[in-house]
Every structure is written in C-alpha cells, then in structure tokens.
C-alpha cells in the first residue's frame, strides 16, 4: 500500500476542519447556505494557509448530493470524486504551466457547456498571477458575465501581480498566516492519531520553523517522524536542521545582557557547531522577545515555552529598554557583516564579543565618557573672563547663617557617608545595581526618609526611579543594611555632578563642549540628546 504524506492525509475536508481562517470560513458558509455565492472568487495569501484546500471544500459543498447544511457530506459520489481529483466538473488548472492565451481561450469555450452531473461546474485556477497579460484579457468578459452554472476560484500568493481589471470583477479573500498555537494544536492531534512520540520542545521547534504555514509544519513533522522512526526529540531536530539549541541561544543572550565576555569565550566551541546565519537570526528574535516581556505585563501572546518566558523575565531585571534596543541594532548590523564575511564563524564570534563589550547607555550619557572622548580630540575651550573682586558683592554671613550652614553641612556629610557605606555593602552582592546607585546624590537624610537627587540631564536615572522593581530592590537592601524600613524619595538636583565637588566645573565644561562635533556624533549614535544645563544655552 502506498504511503500518503501527512500534508495530504490531514488536509481539511470540511469547513469545520479549516484552521486559522475563521472570517473566510464564516463568509463562505453563509454564502453557500443562502445560495448567494459570487461567481468569481480570488483566494490570496501566503503558502500553506489553506487556499487550495478551501477551494476544494467549496467545490464539494456546491456539488454535494446529500448536503443539508453548508457542509459537504464527504460520502456521496461527487464528494469522493472531488477528493480523489477525478470529478469531470471540477477542473483544476495550473496557472504556472497553462499561462498562455490559448489555454484561457479553450477554458472560455468550455464554460458554455452544462455540467455532466449536478447543477454546478467549478474552475480552480492555482497560481493565477502567473497568467500572461493577454491571457488575463481573454478572461475578463467571462469573469464579468459567467454562465449561471459556472464558479471560478482563483488562488494566488502574489495578489499585486493580478491586474486591477480582474480583481475588480472578483470577490477577494485574504488568507492570513496561521498563528503558532493553532498549528501546534493541529500537530498534537496528528501526532496522537499517527502514534508519533514528540516532546514539547521538539513540537515548539517544528512550529517555530514552519513560518506560520500549516503545510510547512506538517511536511517538517513528516520528515522528523521518518528520521526518528516516529520518536522525535528536540536534539534530533537541532541536528537535522542545523539549528542552534535554545539553551545555547539563551546562554549567549544572558552573557550579552550581563556584559560577560568570558562567558562568550567559554561558549565558542558550541558556537562553532551552529549555522552563524540561523543563530544570529534567532538571536535577533530573542532580543525582541526580551523587550516584549519587559514592556508587557502579560506576554501570554508570545509564542514561547513557559520555562523560557520565566528565564527572559529574570533577565529583564538587569537591563534597560535602551540597552535592549542597542543590542538589537548591533545584532542587525552584525547580520549585514555576516553576509560579506569570508569566514562566518569568526565574524559571529567577533560580533558577539563586540556586543558583550558595548558600553552601557548610562555610561555614554554620563560626564566621564563624554569628557574622555572630548579630551582625546583636544578641543579648544573658550576662557571666561575673570571677574575682579570689586565687581562682586561679597556678603559676610551672620552668626545665625553660619550656624545653620554648619548644621546642614554636618547632616549632609553624615548622610553621604552612610550612603557610601550602604553602596559598598551592595557591591559584593549586586555590582551592577551598586553602580546605578552611585549616580544619585544625597539631598536630605533623616530618620523618616532619605531624599536622593539626580540631574535632569541623566535620562537613564529618570527611567530607573519609575521602575517598581528598582524601587523594591532598593528598599529591601536598605532594610537589610539599616535594620529598619527606609523610605526613599527622588528629586531633581541639577547642582549635583556625577563626580562630587565638580558640579560648577562640569556645567561650564558641558556648556562649552555641547556643540563639539564629537559630542554630537555620540548623541546621534545612541539616539540620545545631550541636554543643556542652563537656560541660556537651551535658548540658543
């Protein structure tokens, strides 16, 4: 007995079995029941989404001898003949090989004849966009005024290639790519019926590689079932298709987010076994998944395994949105470099090392990085005229002012010391978090609350103080260090510099170097705007 491939054996035979095209299914069933079907239809959409299968189901519904509703019975002579492809009144034409005007003229002459049986004759033209312009012209009049017993169903993957004179005479049905959960559910049913043993990760990999095409998924399942003698594992699919294992992909992604180049180097042997192009494509998608999970509270719509969602959720706590965007851009640029590379594996290694050593966005925006970049170019700074003492109004503080200033300075110094000790205690546990806290200044320190300041130019700090996870982690560390609950408040403090005691000097430096070409280049690369620190400069 000959073997029937899964994509043909499990082809839908009724409207109820049609997966992922509910709007089209609903329109056609209502049209069949009410006998108001348009005589010329165009089924347009990606490959493997059910266009030809729907055309055959529609043909069976129109010619079924025992039909009582919209569904064909699949038992009568006509239904079986259509299913086997032997019905004389259902003519399937391949538009790719019969694309000349002579073939369409023959079709146009044959539509005048009545069907051999039943009341309806159906023409199914597959890949109709392959017809020549003269062939389309020969078909126009027949499409506009077909005989009452004729129905045209035209399938295409390139709707834009069909002339508007043809599409205006037809009803167009747009078939959408099938969602991964729908494909996964269908494959599970097939595996159960065919006694195919497959684990969840292997099934996920097949669906992920199907490009949202049901036929692609069934063909790949058939291939893997033959490879593993109906026992399919994820490792088998990885080896057969040259894919990168999910654990390797996530290990690389974790190393990139945590900026650990040593971990990338330790994975070089595993990376040498994968296809660089496929791996980098998967990495781009996975970085996108990280951003989606960070931005969306309930990412249930993401087609990922639950264990993988949990892992990516943990990774998002240590990275900002800007850094994810930065990694995404670098990975896209890496794909271009990979195409031009003489050795893709070496290029992949260098791309990953470059991404793992990329500076953090907050470091780029901070004064130190900007200062080092500008100093390397040796910019010429304008000197401000020195004001004479006679031009300045010197006021001698009163005793009350002196006492108030002394008390304030004493509290500030005490608070700053406690803040420094607190940060040092965190560095051994969470160095990344401690480095972020160093960017804040202590404005007020009391037993009730701690007031931390940040400059308006620090864009990354504005995001951090709105992050509930950041605030919760800060309060937990503080409660553990001070043995009491500490409440933190955040305020703008433009007098504060990332380097203590240099606030006025930094303002002057940034004011004079803001228009420097190197500073503008850094701002353009990281899509960050160097914000002016005084109103006079911003008005310019």
DSSP string, 491-520: EE-TT--SSTT-HHHHHHHHHHHTT-HHHH
Task: Answer with the residue of higher pLDDT: 392 or 365.
Answer: 365
Per the listing, tokens 């996108």 go with: 288
Q: Over the stretch 258-271, which tens digit does the pLDDT of each residue have?
A: 888 889 999 888 88
Range with top average pLDDT, 53-57, 374-378, 469-473: 53-57
Q: For position 477, what pLDDT does the model report?
A: 83
pLDDT for 397 equals 47
Which among 497, 501, 508, 505 is positioned nearest to 454, based on CA atoms?
497
3-state secondary structure of 263: helix
Q: What is the pLDDT of residue 284?
A: 92
Cα separation, 236 vs 227, in Å, equals 8
Residues in the chain: 540
d(CA 476, CA 453): 20
Higher pLDDT, 465 or 344: 344
User: For residue 219, what pLDDT is reported?
Assistant: 93
Query: Is 531 within 8 Å of 389 (Cβ atoms)?
Result: no
**At 171, which helix (H) or strand (E)?**
strand 171-174
pLDDT at res. 395 = 46
pLDDT in tens, 134-160: 999 999 988 888 888 999 999 999 999
315 Cβ contact partners less than 8 Å away, ≥ 6 residues apart:
253, 254, 257, 290
Q: Contacts for 79-87 with beta carbons within 8 Å, 24 or more apart?
A: 82/56, 83/13, 83/56, 87/59, 87/63
Report the range of poorest mean pLDDT among 293-297, 454-458, 466-470: 454-458
Across the chain, what does the average pLDDT equal? 80
Q: Identify the bridge partners of residue 487 per DSSP, sorted by sequence position.
A: 449
Give the separation between CA 392 and CA 370, rounded to whole angstroms: 33
CA atoms within 13 A on the CB side of 239: 8
- Name 372's Cβ contacts closer than 8 Å, sequence gap at least 6: none
CA distance 218 to 214: 6
Q: Do 334 and 497 meet the contact criterion of CB atoms below 8 Å apart?
A: no
pLDDT at 309 over 90: no
Q: 99 near 130, Cβ under 8 Å?
A: yes
Q: Residue 217: exposed, middle, or buried by beta-carbon count in 10 A (0-12, 13-18, 19+)?
A: buried
Any residues with CB less than 8 A from the CB of 105 and at least 6 apart, and which?
Answer: 138
Secondary structure E strands in 416-461: 441-445, 449-454
Measured from the Cβ of residue 92, the count of other Cβ atoms closer than 10 Å reads 18
Q: For the purposes of burial, counting CB atoms within 10 Å of the CB of 279, is it exposed (0-12), middle (13-18) or buried (19 or more)?
A: buried
């Amino acid at each position: 007995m000959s073997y029937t491939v899964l994509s043909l054996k499990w082809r839908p035979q009724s409207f109820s079995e049609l997966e992922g095209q509910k709007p089209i299914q609903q329109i056609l069933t209502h049209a069949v029941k009410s006998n108001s079907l348009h005589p010329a239809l165009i089924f347009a959409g990606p490959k493997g989404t059910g266009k030809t299968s729907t055309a055959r189901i529609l043909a069976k519904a129109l010619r079924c001898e025992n039909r009582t509703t919209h569904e064909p019975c699949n038992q009568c002579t006509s239904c079986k003949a259509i299913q086997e492809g032997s019905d004389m009144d259902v003519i399937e034409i391949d538009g790719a090989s019969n694309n000349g005007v002579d073939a369409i003229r023959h079709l146009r002459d044959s539509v005048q004849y009545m069907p051999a049986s039943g009341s309806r004759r159906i023409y199914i033209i597959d890949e109709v966009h392959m017809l020549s312009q003269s062939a389309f012209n020969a078909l126009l009049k027949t499409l506009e005024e077909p005989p009452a017993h004729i129905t045209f169903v035209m399938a295409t993957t390139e709707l834009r290639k069909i002339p508007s004179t043809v599409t205006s005479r037809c009803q167009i049905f747009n078939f959408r790519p099938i969602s991964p959960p729908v494909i996964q559910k269908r494959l599970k049913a097939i595996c159960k019926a065919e006694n195919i043993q497959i684990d969840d990760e292997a099934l996920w990999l097949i669906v992920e590689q199907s490009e949202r095409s049901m036929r692609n998924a069934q063909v790949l399942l058939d291939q893997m079932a033959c490879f593993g003698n109906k026992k399919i594992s994820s490792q088998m699919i990885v080896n057969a298709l040259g894919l990168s294992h999910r654990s390797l992909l996530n290990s690389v992604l974790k190393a990139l987010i945590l900026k650990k180049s040593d971990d990338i180097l330790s994975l070089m042997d595993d990376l040498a076994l994968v296809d660089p192009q496929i791996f980098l494509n998967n990495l781009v998608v996975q970085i996108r998944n990280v951003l989606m999970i960070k931005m969306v509270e309930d990412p249930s719509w993401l087609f990922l395994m639950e264990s993988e969602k949990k892992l990516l959720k943990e990774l998002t706590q240590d990275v900002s949105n800007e850094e994810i965007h930065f990694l995404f851009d670098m990975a896209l640029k890496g794909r271009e470099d990979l195409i031009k590379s003489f050795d893709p594996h070496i290029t992949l290694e260098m791309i990953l090392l470059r991404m793992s050593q990329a500076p953090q966005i907050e470091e780029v925006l901070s004064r130190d990085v900007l200062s080092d970049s500008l100093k390397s170019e040796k910019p010429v700074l304008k000197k401000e005229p020195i004001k004479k003492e006679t031009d300045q109004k010197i006021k001698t503080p009163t005793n009350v002012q002196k006492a108030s200033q002394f008390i304030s300075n004493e509290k500030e110094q005490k608070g700053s010391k406690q803040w420094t000790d607190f940060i040092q205690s965190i560095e051994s546990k969470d160095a990344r978090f401690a480095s972020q806290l160093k960017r804040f200044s202590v404005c007020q320190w009391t037993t009730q609350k701690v007031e931390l300041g940040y400059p308006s130019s620090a864009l990354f700090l504005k995001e951090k103080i709105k992050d509930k996870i950041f605030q919760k982690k800060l309060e937990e560390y503080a409660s553990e260090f001070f043995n009491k609950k500490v409440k933190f408040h955040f305020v703008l403090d433009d007098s504060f510099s990332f380097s203590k005691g240099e606030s006025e000097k930094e303002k002057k430096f940034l004011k004079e170097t803001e228009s420097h070409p190197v500073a503008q280049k850094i701002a353009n690369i990281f899509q960050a705007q160097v914000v002016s620190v005084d109103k006079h400069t911003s008005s310019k």
